[in-house]
Structure 1
Amino acid sequence: MERLRVLELYSGIGGMHYALTESSVDAEVVAAVDVNTTANEIYKHNFPNTLLLPKTIEGMTLNDFNKLDFNMILMSPPCQPFTRIGLQCDVSDPRTKSFLYILDILPRLNKLPRFILLENVKGFETSSARDALIKTLTDCKYSFQELMISPTCIGIPNSRLRYFLVAMAPPGSFSFQTTAEILNGYPEATSSDRTGSSQIPDGQCGGCSSETCDNGYIIYKMETARDLERKRSQDKEETVQRLKEFLEEEGQGMDLEPYLLPPKTLLRYALLLDIVTLNSRRSVCFTKGYGHYVEGTGSVLQSRADVELETVFKSIEGLSDEEKLKLLSQLKLRYFTPREIANLMGFPSHFTFPEGISIKQQYRVLGNSLNVHVVAKLINLMVT
């Protein structure tokens, strides 16, 4: 196959670019397009030789697209129009405008791109935007497959369930049998694949809420027997790596003290935290609000392995705030660092942030990104 010329739309911090590199497919990114100034600064820092167009996609003309002479599109359109927090405004959300513009441009290109890969949040699959995408691909005679994939199915201890679509222009076909159904996992997955039971729904903390939990007896920390059994089952899943494989080591120029949860957060949100340990084989989805908001934005790490979590939470009932804080502090609960989250999301060790990018900004752009390993495998399946 000739070398692929790739157009990276909504390029963010370069997750698609890193996935393309990891896939070992013979390809080059001819242009990356994004309007976010912080993400563009990070992208340029890590890919200084790639043409980066800091503009809106709607600001590119049909001629601009044709001049790039690309035969693959990698894109991750804004997810907010399809999330509960984003109010699920779908195609009426202004942030969907650029994606609809791409669908309008696609059939009018001088040459249809041979491959298209799209990533978005769970919820996109039931949207009108998705319906418009499928109609455009069908009208252009593309073969395509929709999938729901989380990193847990390739052994990464982080639940980040996402919608994916891979498409191929005629002639030719994929190396796997396509289906009109949305696959749960990769195309070669069997009915016994792990991609279902070992995942935690994105955007939910491990604690119980009135909307998501059963009415069972709360054992401790607002955890029901069902919650605890699910987490223990995940931690026994030996095909998933332990979290300690992705963590930074304290004492080698890395001070983890700034990442400890402050007293105010411990007292107010302790019962809502999803707490994991070094040996856990799970963590919930990290979102752009991690480190700033607590509930539903990602797991926190218990640094002290010699303190029993259940004992601490059963002991704080009825105590004063001062006494509660003394016990909770024994756990040494801390946030994952941006580097650790990048590790879980598959970014290589040479990926770095330029000076001047705050910790809050780092969490934000990582929460908006994708899992590199998951996409790399998809690119291989699509092109092979």
Structure 2
Amino acid sequence: MEPLRVLELYSGIGGMHQALRESCIPAQVVAAIDINTVANEVYKYNFPHTQLLAKTIEGITLEEFDRLSFNMILMSPPCQPFTRIGLQGDVTDPRTNSFLHILDILPRLQKLPKYILLENVKGFEVSSTRDLLIQTIGNCGFQYQEFLLSPTSLGIPNSRLRYFLIAKLQSVPFPFQAPGQVLMEFPQTESEHPQKHAIDAENKTEEKKIEEKKVEPNICSDSSTQCSGKEAILFKLETAGEIDRKRQQDSDLSVRMLRDFLEDDIDMNSYFLPPKSLLRYALLLDIVKPTSRRSTCFTKGYGRYLEGTGSVLQTTEDVQIENIYKSLTNLSQEEKITRLLMLQLRFFTPKEIANLLGFPPEFGFPEKTTVKQRYRLLGNSLNVHVVAQLIKILCE
């Protein structure tokens, strides 16, 4: 088989390139394109032999695209226009312009690529931009399938639900194609047991329902009191339902423990949460242990912001979180800090997050890349194992 000629758009730190390697499909990245200078430094550091174009996609002409003579596109367009916490500007957001340029150029290429893989945030599937994408590839003769997938379905203890589209230039549908449906599971392969697949799919659908259900925190001033006739939150701003969900995730033996992804010898002091932050955000932290089989999605603000940016790790495993939190009532600020410090909570290191995202041990950062920059770049990246699996399915 002739190696595929791959164009990597919005290449970032090279998650797509890494996934392509992991898929073992014979391929060569003919060009990677991104305007983020810090991301480009990291890309060059890890893929020194790949042509990296530091320019805007809108600035690339049809002739330039044609000259690259690619037969596969891997891309992860800016997600800000579609994210649930953003303004959801969709096609009106200027950050969508580069992607609209790709959709304009695609039908006019001298030779259409055979394969397309796109990654974005959950929310993209209900956007006008997505409708335009579907219309464009449909007119070009592509068969496609959409997915919402999380690394947990591959046994990785990290929730990172993302939208994916795979498309192939052919007249026959994919064997697993479900028109109009966004699949929540990887397609079944020959070797898989159909019954197991059905159970997994059911579990994932249930998981999605839980994830989408916005739970209002049931806040009481005293965690031992009764709130509006119902039992109060046991500790932290978590409902009994949320605590139960986390316990269920931790008992799912198909998912590995976090300790498999942790670094052995690090200077933990530089990653411990500052006492002031501990006090301020104590009730909002998502705390996991090395034996946990779950962690929340790490975002680009991790390490700087504490609310909703990713889990923190409790390094004293013999201390019970519940006992610490229940003992906080009526204590002075100093005493509260002393109690909370007993948990020895720390941030995950950039390397540990890279491990959870599926980057191999040899993947690294140039020395001058700061910790803050590393967190930011990883928060914008994708899960390598999930994409590698989809590339294999696409090229089968």
TM-score range, shorter chain: over 0.9
The 2-side partners of 1:176 and 1:3 are apart by 25
Percent of paired sites with the same residue: 60
Deviations 1:279-309 (A, max 9, x none): 0000000000001111110000000001010
The CA distance in 2 between the partners of 1:195 and 1:381, in whole Å, is 20
Match of 1:226 in 2: 241
**Which digits, 9 at most, give the CA deviation of each residue in 1:142-199, with x for residues without a partner?**
1000000000001000000000000001255535334321111112283321433456
Equivalent of 2:251 in 220, 226, 236: 236
* 1:84-108 superposed Cα distances (whole Å, 9 cap, x missing partner): 3321110100000000000000000
| Cα distance in 1 for residues equivalent to 2:355 and 2:136 | 36
Q: Partner letter of residue 379 of structure 2?
A: G
Report the CA distance shift for 1:155/1:270 in structure 2 as closer, same or farther (over 3 A).
same
Alignment of 1:105-144 (within 5 A): 105-144=105-144
Structure 1 gaps, min length 5:
none
**What secondary structure is seen at the aligned counterpart in 1 of 2:96?**
helix
TM-score (structure 1 length as normaliser): 0.94
The whole-number CA distance in structure 1 between the counterparts of 2:116 and 2:44 is 23
Pairing 1:49-64 to 2, within 5 Å after superposition: 49-64=49-64
TM-score (ref. length: structure 2): 0.91
Q: Size of the alignment, in residue pairs?
A: 376
Matches for 1:161-180 after TM superposition, within 5 Å: 161-171=161-171, 173-180=173-180
Partner of 1:98: 98
Greater shift in the superposed pair: 337-346 or 178-187: 178-187
Q: SS at the partner of 2:41?
A: helix
Please say if 1:340 is aligned against 2:335: no
Partner of 2:198 in structure 1? 191
SS at match of 2:253: coil
Aligned counterparts of 1:247 and 1:175: Cα–Cα separation in 2: 39
Aligned to 1:316: 328
Change (3 A) 1:261 1:132: same
The residue number in structure 1 matching 2:223 is none
User: Which residue does the alignment assign to 1:265?
Assistant: 277
Distance in 2, Cα, partners of 1:132 & 1:308? 51
Aligned position for 1:294: 306
Q: Distance in 1 between matches of 2:68 and 2:45?
A: 22
Give the structure 1 partner of residue 191 of structure 2. none
Q: What RMSD in Å do the two structures reach over aligned CA positions? A: 1.9
Match runs of 1:345-364 below 5 Å: 345-364=357-376
Residue segments in structure 2 that go unaligned for 5+ positions in a row = 189-193, 220-227
- Whether contact under 8 Å (1:207, 1:273) holds in the other structure is no
After superposition, the Cα gap between the structure-2 partners of 1:198 and 1:171, relative to the gap in structure 1 and judged at 3 Å, is closer
